[in-house]
Structure 1
């Protein structure tokens, strides 16, 4: 195993210069830094995190807490964050919380002394708890806005609104929204956007959920969605949408002839063969990159300055999974065979929240 002295000899510099180059690169001339890094790479030398922490007070590690690894939106953010961290000579420790406040708190407790900061993806802790953590270690939040913290989100509510507008243009008056996980900040924003549309005369949004954002839950919820009498279904994420599409096909309900379908992201079916599902395209990788860049800036700035967060724009891909509903005489709940029964109205004409 290569030692610090081996790198110094290979680069033709002192061991102290190698130490500065690897722990405080800004204090070393660019040509010397390049020579030291080339020597370290050639010899396979890696800095001991514990030793670096003693010298600099920093470990070079960040913790990224995520609800799960199955959601492709999260996976894309994680992969991009890891890539940028590696380019900046940092490492990410990934902790899966299952969307549980208790597991999230336990992960913070276990990792706080081992890392230089936290990236929290869709955290469920309260605002006070998150701010308390930020007072101890730099924190960046993804997919949720927290006052006083650097937060990065994408405008999926605006994208869903564009899809809903298109459904209205096509003549739909009853739309079902399959909501996301309990406690989701982003899901509340999407519900609020759809509720604004449902306030218009004659427009109804039937909200079902919350449910875990998975393929299985999408398939399981489909019968209840059809029972609302909706002519279109919007899903919280692409995994739910795929589950809905699978169950519709299994039951003989045709998309879009019998019912239109769209999703709030396109991550799970990007690149799949066949007709694309109408969806919001959200730049999930950019969230990971922005979060790492902001955390590096905060970890290296003793002044406590906080980089500004951003809401990233989205685009919408409208495809043939949206179509005009059947004539008014055929409207009503779709059965498993694709037929419609008598119409089942929602007298409130507003967004319905079953919780």
Structure 2
């Protein structure tokens, strides 16, 4: 066993675990190819000895770094944060790590991150990508790329059926007698926001709903608060919001203005993540599996890397959503 002043080596871990050095190497670089009981012995031995695989040496030997990169527009948005946390957890289960790069939702910064990190990681998961599909596919020719929250032809893509969930909320508003509905749109250029607006327009066309679009805006608390006065003065009796953080800002400002929910206006959000731990009555929201997006993306990257690269492309998925209908939706006030 390595002494307190020694650096544990791969051979030390092999002796401690009672396996060959090649098995230890495989456990570090390709844990999916090692029997679970053996993998546990190797990891326990490495932990006891304080062994840490050298990423540079592993990359030189195997051609793999053990790192993935997750590109996110920001970490203030709780949907993105939940996706990133789940991606890191899933990667750790497979003996990998995730490097997170914040792009600000800008195509130029996203492209720079892809270029800067390409030599340091085994693959990319890009959350709400802003780059052109052709640019993402060009990177994919060299390193596996998975798209999250946007469907990109030619890439493994994972999305959630938020538009379908919003459709059920629209239907409920029609049942309650609403005819004038506001939609506070998300960031400019958002693929998912376009899908949501398309769903809203489709429902409006067949149900007689009048829809007033506000935005686009960044999905931030301050932006929701800033939009509240315009929405309250629009004559709409209900408002649907791109995400829960925007909704919190809008409701905060409604409270300061004396606008009551749901007596004066009904409200709902396209996700519930920022609302999850708040006290008080629950808000109507689409229940979007943000964490599952992160787990699916990392699993797909691991599958592609394990198969030797981007030539094998796992099937993407559109994950189903639930809907929580609450008393934040009510019939429009008399005379509205």
Shorter chain as denominator, the TM-score bin is: over 0.9
Distance apart, 1:12 and its partner CA: 3.8
Distance in 1 between residues matched to 2:116 and 2:152, nearest whole Å: 23
Distance in 1 between residues matched to 2:63 and 2:320, nearest whole Å: 37
Corresponding position: 1:292 with 2:298: yes
Corresponding position: 1:318 with 2:330: no
Distance apart, 1:143 and its partner CA: 0.3
Which residue does 1:350 correspond to in 2? none
Distance in 2 between residues matched to 1:29 and 1:91, nearest whole Å: 21
Which residue does 1:353 correspond to in 2? none
CA contact (8 A) 2:184 2:241 kept: yes
Distance in 1 between residues matched to 2:133 and 2:17, nearest whole Å: 49
3-state SS, counterpart of residue 268 of structure 1: helix
CA contact (8 A) 2:69 2:117 kept: yes
Distance in 1 between residues matched to 2:176 and 2:10, nearest whole Å: 68
Which residue does 1:273 correspond to in 2? 279
3-state SS, counterpart of residue 126 of structure 2: strand
Question: Quick one: structure 1 residues 173 and 49, their matched pair in 2 at CA, closer, same or farther if it must change by over 3 Å?
Answer: same
Which residue does 2:222 correspond to in 1? 216
TM-score when normalising by structure 2? 0.94
Question: Quick one: structure 1 residues 47 and 198, their matched pair in 2 at CA, closer, same or farther if it must change by over 3 Å?
Answer: same
Which residue does 1:348 correspond to in 2? none
Distance in 1 between residues matched to 2:33 and 2:111, nearest whole Å: 37
Which residue does 1:127 correspond to in 2? 133
Alignment of structure 1 residues 11-30 onto 2, 5 Å: 11-25=17-31
Distance apart, 1:6 and its partner CA: 2.5
- The structure 2 residue matched to 1:52, chosen from 46, 55, 58, is 58
3-state SS, counterpart of residue 189 of structure 1: helix
Corresponding position: 1:42 with 2:42: no
3-state SS, counterpart of residue 212 of structure 1: coil
Corresponding position: 1:68 with 2:74: yes
Question: Quick one: structure 1 residues 257 and 30, their matched pair in 2 at CA, closer, same or farther if it must change by over 3 Å?
Answer: closer
Distance in 1 between residues matched to 2:93 and 2:99, nearest whole Å: 15
Distance in 2 between residues matched to 1:74 and 1:53, nearest whole Å: 29
Which residue does 1:81 correspond to in 2? 87
Which residue does 2:118 correspond to in 1? 112
Once superposed, what is the RMSD of the aligned Cα atoms?
1.6
- The structure 2 residue matched to 1:239, chosen from 245, 270, 276, is 245
Which residue does 2:162 correspond to in 1? 156
Alignment of structure 1 residues 158-173 onto 2, 5 Å: 158-173=164-179
Distance apart, 1:78 and its partner CA: 0.7
TM-score when normalising by structure 1? 0.89
Deviations along 1:272-308, one digit per CA (max 9) or x if unpaired, are 1100111000011110111110010011113712110
